[in-house]
Amino acid sequence: MINKIQEFNVMRENLNYKFFINGEWRVSTSGKTITIKNPFNNEIVGNIQACTKEEVDQAIINAKQSVNCWENTPIRERAEILKKAANLMNKWSDYLGELLMNENGKPLKSAISEIKRTALIFNATAEAKSELVGTTMTGDILEGGSREKISITYRVPLGVVLCIGPFNYPFNLTGSKIAPALLTGNSVVMKPSTEGSITASHLGIILDKAGVPPGVFNIITGRGSEIGDYLISHPDINMINFTGSSKTGKHLAEVAGMIPLLLELGGKDAAIVLNDADLKKTVKSIVSGAFSYNGQRCTAVKRVLPMPDIADILIEKVVEETKKLSIGDPAENKSIGPLINSNQCDYVQELIDDAIDKGVEVKCGNKREGNILWPTVLDKVTVDMRIAWEEQFGPVVPFIRVKTIEEAIKISNDSEYGLQGMIFTNNIDLALNIAQELEVGTVQINGQSSRGPDHFPFIGTKASGMGAQGIKYSIKNMSRPKVIVMNLSEKGKLLRKCDID
């Protein structure tokens, strides 16, 4: 891919991309690189640096040394820098979108949208700066307190925030962590997922050009298996915001120690479809929710639980619409493209094969070419099948037919995950009652599970995560209250004229 943007030349030599510390693009002293290939055609997109532990140390030291200076930069100036970064993202969205498509196989239009969505988040985060205003209180509300005791509470940054992003939204889900971290005055070390590193690394140029001072934003690339534990257990990291698999998230929580964590992990979102649901709307939501970006979204529709009177027609219509999905080259915006790598294809196929062995009905799909898996609809999935519980992260939608609402709630809740749930019905009272029973962060009524809009809280329970993200929630979670208490002297009392006759 030809780079026509002069500003990006500094970060690479031919196809070798550098990492970013203290405002400089560097080649790793390891002498090793990792090759990133296009999952659709296997062409080399570029090579990223395999950073060493010493380079991790340098990134963190620089970040730590920069915190004070950045914290002292007025909030409004930090907000202006985020807005400038958003402008640059919009300006360069076509190039970055194409690069992202080459790197993770996302359809071109969606890849460009990902860049623009990140720009929106940066702008909205800048606009949300008032979340950082403080409060004052007098102590006389509680017994034992008095008006002479006054607290001044304001918000301060946590220090060095480690932002680790996933392969499926390498630009957006790292960006959505970086914007609130920077607004609140933290410095940042970003570790993108290996697949996605190249596009995400462009955040270095963008933030540098927007005016983030050297050292405040740093990028480390490399294999999580080599530097991951070193990074997450580093004593100078003050907070970690991670998006990725539940397995890695649990490991991270074990290793990181006593620092704040914000984790967005896997999901097994179930759509409960009642007999009176609007068929057209439900079919559209299921097909789009299950198959967008080939089901490689934490919020994808990963199970459908239809009630008896609607099950046959619902499955028939979902199959009809699924067969219409175009398949092939992401550059041509085909609906279904490659999964991120062949290991992931093997895993999804394993789940399909297990279900077939146990008697599932394959309604369509179950075909593979290279890294492309055809969108697959499975009917009569039973609870002894792995696909009923394991997160497929691929283009497969299992239908588990249920007889009662209670059974649907039980199957939904028996999952180790608790990201989102869906209820399709015209009976809103009933929907609200079911919603209260679901053990998830968010329940969607008559709509597919999804993260946005990005100012909504985004929460995973159980193995799906920890803490709330979303613009103002991230700002709160990436800062802490600091309290100064003034204890006024008794003399102050004498100045008050409050004698009542």
Q: Where along the sequence are the contacts to ligand G3H (CB under 6 A)?
A: 168-169, 297-299, 450-452
Residue nearest to ligand G3H (CB): 298
Q: How far is the CB of 188 from ligand G3H (least distance, A)?
A: 19
C-beta of 184 vs 442, nearer to ligand G3H: 442
C-beta of 230 vs 456, nearer to ligand G3H: 456
Identify the DSSP state of 212. P
Q: Which of 195, 264, 390, 391 is catalytic?
A: 264
Q: How far is the CB of 291 from ligand G3H (least distance, A)?
A: 12
> 454-476 in b/e burial notation, b at 16+ Cβ within 10 A?
bbbebbbebbbbbbbbbbbbbbb
Q: What angle do CA 240, 253, 167 make, to 5 degrees?
A: 60
In the three-class reduction of DSSP (H, G, I as helix; E, B as strand; rest coil), residue 397 is classed as strand
Q: What angle do CA 476, 163, 56 make, to 5 degrees?
A: 135
C-beta of 451 vs 476, nearer to ligand G3H: 451
Q: Region of 279 please: left (phi>0), alpha (psi -120 to 50) or beta.
A: alpha
Q: What are the start-end ranges of the H helices in 2-52?
A: none
C-beta of 328 vs 447, nearer to ligand G3H: 447
Q: How far is the CB of 238 from ligand G3H (least distance, A)?
A: 24
Residue with structure tokens 């934003």? 217
The contacts of residue 75 (CB under 8 Å, 6+ apart) are: 129, 132, 183, 185
What's the CA gap between 458 and 2, in Å, rounded?
37
C-beta of 28 vs 444, nearer to ligand G3H: 444
Do residues 108 and 18 touch, judged by C-beta distance below 8 A? no
Tally: H helices and E strands in the chain? 15, 28
C-beta of 282 vs 450, nearer to ligand G3H: 450
In the three-class reduction of DSSP (H, G, I as helix; E, B as strand; rest coil), residue 362 is classed as strand
In the three-class reduction of DSSP (H, G, I as helix; E, B as strand; rest coil), residue 79 is classed as helix
56-61 contacts at long range (C-beta below 8 A, 24 or more positions apart) = 56/220, 56/227, 56/230, 56/231, 56/234, 57/234, 58/21, 58/22, 59/21, 59/189, 59/218, 59/219, 59/220, 60/160, 60/189, 60/218, 60/234, 60/236, 60/237, 61/236
Q: How far is the CB of 463 from ligand G3H (least distance, A)?
A: 14
C-beta of 370 vs 453, nearer to ligand G3H: 453
Q: How far is the CB of 409 from ligand G3H (least distance, A)?
A: 23
Q: How far is the CB of 323 from ligand G3H (least distance, A)?
A: 23
The candidate with the shortest Cα–Cα distance to 96, out of 240, 187, 19, 196, is 196
C-beta of 363 vs 451, nearer to ligand G3H: 451
Is 264 part of the annotated catalytic residue set? Answer: yes
Q: How far is the CB of 85 from ligand G3H (least distance, A)?
A: 20
Do residues 344 and 439 touch, judged by C-beta distance below 8 A? no
The burial of 142, by beta-carbon neighbours within 10 Å (0-12 exposed, 13-18 middle, 19 or more buried), is given as exposed
Q: Which of 51, 163, 298, 345 is catalytic?
A: 298
Q: How far is the CB of 297 from ligand G3H (least distance, A)?
A: 4
Q: Which residues are catalytic?
A: 264, 298
